[in-house]
Amino acid sequence: MKTHSTKFLILVVIMSMTVYSCQNQSGEKVSQSTDEFFLEEISISEMQEAYRLGKYSITDVVKAYLDRIEAIDRNGPALNSIIQINPDALLIAKELDEELAAGNIRGPLHGIPVILKDNIDTHDKMPTTAGSRALKNSYPLQDSWVAKKFRDAGAIIIAKSNLSEWANFRADFSSSGWSGVGGQTKNPYVLDRNPCGSSSGSGVAVSANLCAIAIGTETNGSIVCPSTATGIVGFKPTVGLISRSGIIPISFTQDTPGPMGRTVEDVAICLGELVGIDPSDSKTLDSEGHSHTDYTKFLITDGLEGKRIGLMKDVMGFHYKVDVLMEETVEFLESQGAEVIELEWPGDKKYRQASFQVLLYEFKDGLNKYFSGLGNNAPVKSLEELIKFNIADSVELRHFDQEILELAQEKGDLDEQEYKESLLKMHSATREEGIDKLMDEHELDALIAPTGSPAWKTDLVNGDNFLGSSSSFAAISGYPNITVPMGFIDGLPVGVSFFGRAWSEPLLLEIAYGFEQGTKHRTAPGFLATDN
Residue of 176, 222, 422, 497 marked catalytic: 222
How many other β-carbons are positioned within 10 Å of the β-carbon of residue 417? 8
The torsion of the CA quartet 147, 151, 156, 159, rounded to 10 degrees, works out to: 20
Residue of 57, 81, 117, 174 marked catalytic: 117
pLDDT-derived band at 32, boundaries 50, 70, 90: very low
132 among known catalytic residues = no
Residue 22 in this model has a pLDDT that exceeds 90: no
pLDDT (tens digit, 9 = 90+) per residue, 339-362?
A: 999 999 998 889 999 999 999 999
Q: At what angle do helices 505-519 and 264-274 cross, to 10 degrees?
A: 160
Distance of CA 291 to the CA centre of its chain: 20
Quick check: 340 and 333 in contact, CB under 8 A? Answer: yes
How many other β-carbons are positioned within 10 Å of the β-carbon of residue 151? 18
Residue of 179, 198, 199, 469 marked catalytic: 198
pLDDT value at residue 532: 67
pLDDT (tens digit, 9 = 90+) per residue, 328-340?
A: 999 999 999 999 9
pLDDT-derived band at 29, boundaries 50, 70, 90: low
pLDDT (tens digit, 9 = 90+) per residue, 406-440?
A: 999 999 999 999 999 999 999 999 999 999 999 99
pLDDT-derived band at 72, boundaries 50, 70, 90: very high
222 among known catalytic residues = yes
Is the bond preceding residue 198 a cis peptide, omega within 30 degrees? yes
pLDDT value at residue 19: 28
Residue 33 in this model has a pLDDT that exceeds 90: no
pLDDT value at residue 245: 98
Quick check: 337 and 309 in contact, CB under 8 A? Answer: no
pLDDT value at residue 431: 98
Give strand pairing partners of 179: 183
**In angstroms, what CA-CA distances link 277 with 152, 206, 242, 281?**
16, 28, 8, 8
Residue 146 in this model has a pLDDT that exceeds 80: yes
Q: How far apart are CA 499 and CA 190, in angstroms?
A: 28
Q: Which of 233, 289, 286, 272 is nearest to 150 (CA)?
A: 272
pLDDT (tens digit, 9 = 90+) per residue, 245-273?
A: 999 999 999 999 999 999 999 999 999 99
Residue 20 in this model has a pLDDT that exceeds 50: no
Domains with residue ranges and CATH for the chain: 41-481+492-519 (3.90.1300.10)
Residue 25 in this model has a pLDDT that exceeds 90: no
Q: Which of 498, 484, 456 is nearest to 311 (CA)?
A: 498
pLDDT-derived band at 481, boundaries 50, 70, 90: very high
Q: Which of 257, 254, 250 is nearest to 273 (CA)?
A: 257
198 among known catalytic residues = yes
pLDDT value at residue 36: 79
pLDDT value at residue 5: 37
> What value does the mean pLDDT take over residues 211-228?
98
% the chain with pLDDT above 70: 93
pTM of the model: 0.94
